[in-house]
Amino acid sequence: MNYKLTSRSEFDTMEIAENLESEKFSGMVICLDGELGSGKTCFVKGFAKALGITDTITSPTFSLVKEYLDGEMPLYHMDVYRLEDEKEDFGLVDYLNQEGVCIIEWPEMIESQLPEERLDIRFKVIDDNTRVLIFTPYGEKYEELCEAVL
């Protein structure tokens, strides 16, 4: 089952992420898909803010992974857009097995490595400010999360 929410501003996108964070759990995996500038990193900023992370959140495009460890739980923000090979080892399994939350931008680049249970969020650009976020939960925990928050 898919869930849809409309964001009419960066503030809305951050608020959606903050609401989702309220139901976080250790080992959570969120995959963000959408074109450049669609709001993926803005979503991560809202999630990080709700976790109590005070670092500036930027896309980890060139480093692949940024670790934020000063919040309620660790946040591992991944941007795998620049991977040259889907099977390239950048430590994904290690991050998935740690306590914390993994948020992955451009998950289609590593689709075969993604866990079966996760939350996919697709960002669809409508106009300069409006986005439709389509949530697809995989697994009971993620279905319950969507039911509770969306």
Residue 25, pLDDT > 70, answer yes
Structure tokens at 130: 């409006």
CATH number at residue 85: 3.40.50.300
Q: Is-contact 75 99, C-beta < 8 A?
A: no
Alpha helices in 1-69 (DSSP H): 10-21, 40-51
Compute the distance between CA of residue 132 and CA of residue 147 in angstroms, rounded to an integer: 18
Q: Chain-wide mean pLDDT for the chain?
A: 92
Q: Say if pTM beats, i.e. exceeds, 0.75.
A: yes
What's 26's DSSP letter?
A: T
**One-letter amino acid for residue 145 of the chain:** L
- The parent domain of residue 96 ranges over 3-149
- Sign for the CA dihedral angle at 40, 125, 25, 108 comes to negative
pLDDT confidence of residue 64? 86
What is the mean predicted confidence (pLDDT) over 71-95?
Answer: 82
Count of domains observed in the chain: 1
- Which residue's structure tokens are 């950048």? 90
